[in-house]
């Protein structure tokens, strides 16, 4: 089977592209000596962890379940950050993770005695916004993410092995460079006392226009000036452009001069970022509205009126039964999907270098029912 013959809806992981991304990231590690971890919040398809683990240093988690997954399925260096840890879960998290990063000094002071020999860090907020999407800006005024310098007592630094910042989202190295200036201005005096500095995620390292030279210059600067080990934890960069969502056209409806194609894929259920950011996902063989001869609005068969993916144009008419292929669907898709309206979860396939597709996991009624009571 290939992209256009597999059952729909289905996510398809492009294994060749995934490995290409991993090679780029491994090159950064080899040239600089930094460590790069997979941020599982973006991509947790653990069937691919043996491949990713051949190139990257390990995984990073946002809580207990991701920490378990990283330890069980990749088994390399395992980090965790959470805005707040639950008392009843913390000891298990300690047993699974090598680095434990806290979000606030109160959590640091509370849990530090239970961290045993683990490396302990604190997420800092350099108060340096560099992006446009407010929903993904951890440096916005009033942010709950990261401690500002005025919130940290001098004695707190003695409890730490490292500092962590995460301020970027889908950005190039120029945003990292500006952020580092703010980090150094506010925390440069304590960095020589640290063992490591974690640059967090949001680095689009594997996209074609990414400035690898500037990234590596930033890494080397921090290593040489402060004598610390540098970590990065991208999620999107690992699986960027390494996946598809294949869907079938179920129906065409007309209203007010707009022709809508109703698909068996859903923005709300299968690609929530389309509505949350929002953004218009790339679609193979399509153009902007009016760019090509036939323009359609693409929507889902949920009952949510706003479950609209966007307007696209095509060279030829799109008919009921046709397959459409959304691109860049490996990231923040499988990890965020849901069964609203009883809509089935897409199957997961792996695509080999020759274009053939192999089923990894199929979902059914029991997956919907067992999430309920």
pLDDT of residue 86: 98
pLDDT, tens only, 182-228: 999 999 999 999 999 999 999 999 999 999 999 999 999 999 999 99
pLDDT, tens only, 43-85: 999 999 999 999 999 999 999 999 999 999 999 999 999 999 9
pLDDT of residue 210: 98
Query: Could you give the dihedral angle defined by the CA atoms of residues 216, 221, 223 and 225, in that order, rounded to the nearest 10 degrees?
Result: 180
**Positions of CATH 2.40.37.10 in the chain:** 243-329+337-369
Which CATH code, of 2.40.37.10, 3.40.50.2000, 3.40.50.460, 3.40.1230.10, is assigned to 243-329+337-369?
A: 2.40.37.10
**Positions of CATH 3.20.20.10 in the chain:** 33-239
The hierarchical CATH code for the domain 33-239 is: 3.20.20.10
pLDDT of residue 55: 98
pTM for the full model? 0.96
pLDDT of residue 13: 98
* Spans in the chain with pLDDT lower than 50: none
DSSP 3-state assignment of 286?
Answer: coil
pLDDT of residue 154: 95
């Amino acid at each position: 089977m290939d992209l256009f013959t597999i059952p729909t809806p289905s996510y398809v992981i492009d294994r060749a592209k995934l490995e290409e991304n991993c090679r780029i990231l491994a090159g950064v590690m080899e040239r600089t000596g930094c460590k790069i971890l997979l941020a599982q919040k973006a991509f947790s398809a653990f069937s691919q962890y043996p491949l990713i683990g051949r190139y990257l240093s390990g995984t990073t988690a946002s809580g207990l379940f991701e920490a378990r997954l990283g330890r069980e399925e990749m088994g390399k260096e395992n980090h965790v950050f959470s805005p707040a840890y639950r008392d009843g879960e913390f000891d298990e998290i300690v047993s699974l993770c090598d680095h434990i990063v806290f979000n606030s000094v109160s959590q640091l002071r509370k849990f530090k005695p239970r961290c045993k020999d683990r490396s302990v860090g604190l997420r800092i907020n350099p108060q340096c916004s560099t992006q446009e999407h407010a929903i993904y800006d951890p440096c916005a005024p009033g942010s709950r993410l990261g401690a500002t310098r005025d919130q940290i007592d001098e004695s707190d630094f003695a409890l730490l092995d490292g500092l962590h910042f995460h301020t970027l989202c889908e950005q190039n190295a120029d945003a990292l460079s500006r952020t580092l200036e703010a980090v150094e201005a506010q925390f440069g005096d304590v960095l020589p006392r640290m063992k490591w500095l974690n640059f967090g995620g949001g680095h689009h390292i594997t996209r074609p226009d990414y400035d690898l030279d500037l990234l590596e210059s930033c890494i080397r600067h921090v290593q040489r000036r402060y004598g610390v080990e540098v970590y990065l934890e991208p999620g999107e960069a690992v699986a960027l452009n390494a996946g598809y969502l294949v869907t079938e056209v179920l129906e065409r409806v007309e209203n007010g001069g707009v022709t809508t194609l109703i698909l068996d894929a859903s923005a709300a259920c299968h690609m929530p970022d389309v509505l949350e950011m929002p953004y218009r996902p790339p679609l193979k063989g399509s153009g902007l509205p009016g760019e090509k001869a036939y323009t359609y609005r693409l929507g889902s068969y949920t009952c949510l009126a706003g479950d609209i993916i966007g307007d696209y144009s095509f060279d030829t008419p799109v008919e009921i039964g046709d397959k459409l292929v959304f691109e860049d669907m490996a990231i923040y898709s499988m990890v965020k999907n849901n069964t609203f309206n009883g809509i089935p979860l897409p199957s997961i396939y792996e695509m080999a270098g020759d274009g053939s597709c192999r089923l990894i996991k199929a979902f059914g009624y029991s997956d919907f029912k067992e999430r309920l009571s």
